[in-house]
Amino acid sequence: MTVFAVAVAWAQPAPPPPKLEPLPDVPPPPGVSGEEELQPQVTITQRQGEKVEEARVNGRLVWVRVTPRHGRPYFLIPDPGGNTYIRRDSNDTGLKVPLWVLFSF
């Protein structure tokens, strides 16, 4: 008789799911109102054949790209303290992911 009771329990239809309501929109975190603040504001100035581009996010200087009249362009990136600038030839972070060939056919 226990086999019959189990079969009857499986044969009964499941109760209908509860009525679901959509969730309200999630507000942005405090201090961030939208994507406009995250986009860098680039200011371009030219003087004596030299082009200087400054990028700022929320008023904080992120990088400066200097394109001299003769020579290669370079970047000036403020150090974490913000007192001096580090010169780089590219805006590359320097992170190199190692790549190895594991299998070859």
3-35 pLDDT, tens per residue?
Answer: 555 555 566 777 888 888 888 888 877 765 555
Nearest to 76 by CA among 67, 68, 64: 64
Amino acid at 29: P
The answer to whether 58 touches 37, Cβ cutoff 8 Å, is: yes
pTM: 0.53
Superfamily of domain 41-88: Protein of unknown function DUF2782 (2.20.130.30)
Domain boundaries, the chain: 41-88
| pLDDT of 51 higher than 90 | yes
